[in-house]
Amino acid sequence: MTGRSIHPLSRLFGWLVILFLAGPIVIVIGTSISNTPYLAFPPQGFTLKWYANVFNHSGFLDTFIISMEVALGGTLIALVTGLAAAYALTRYKMKIPGWYGSVFFLPFFIPEIVFGFSLLKTLIVQLQLPILPSLILGHAILCLPYMVRVIGASLSGFDFSIQEAAVSLGMHPVKAFWTIVLPNIRSGVIAGMVLAFITSLNDMAVALFLTGPGISTLPIEVFTYVQQFFDPTVSAVSVLLMGVTILVMVLIERSLGLSKTVQ
């Protein structure tokens, strides 16, 4: 029995979607290798000097290190908090008021400029925290909704009676969570971490309010560079940033492993 053929319009629509998603990436990569002192596409000639310029510019390297620290720190804090929140909201949803879960999604609905200003006033002005911890906490709050949403979706299909059976047979509740619940939601944890890391690494609106003298993030440094120069260096930074994101995703997949997820 042969399957139904795909309608030509469906094929066309599929290719248009792929073109819409991949088009900007192709343009950025093309402009990053253009042998012109300005952004040009299609690329005119071929050169890698703009990539060399990225490494020769100390501001890019310094802010990249800070961005990685902030992204990793914010992702880990959001992971611990979001995992606990998603577990409680799913496991005890009959006992927790329905509005309580909406609190974790407030960063989705508040404009980022207002959200960043609120963090500035709370963390730095009132609590007087140092800039770097404030950045990490701010990005952790920004990434928390992704963790709660994605991990909660994974937990919604989990049968908690398995965990209850293990506890009733003498297993400690914490051990039951780590050995039974967590392996079954590993794919959701990985997806939440990737979304949180990418969001934190590319955020500028929140970081704009929480940075200070000597401490900045890569998106802000790129924005400052564009105000002064208009060469393809910014495209080279974008390509390298995409490469780092892909590398982090591969490392997370290899260490936690979607293929290792318990079915």
Residue-wise pLDDT for 124-133, tens only, equals: 888 888 888 8
What pTM, to 2 d.p., does this model score?
Answer: 0.78
pLDDT band with cut points at 50, 70 and 90 for residue 8: confident
Residue-wise pLDDT for 188-227, tens only, equals: 888 888 888 888 888 888 888 888 777 888 888 888 888 7
What is the spatial distance between Cα 262 and Cα 251, in angstroms, rounded to a whole number? 19
For residues 193 and 71, the answer to whether their CB atoms sit within 8 Å is: no
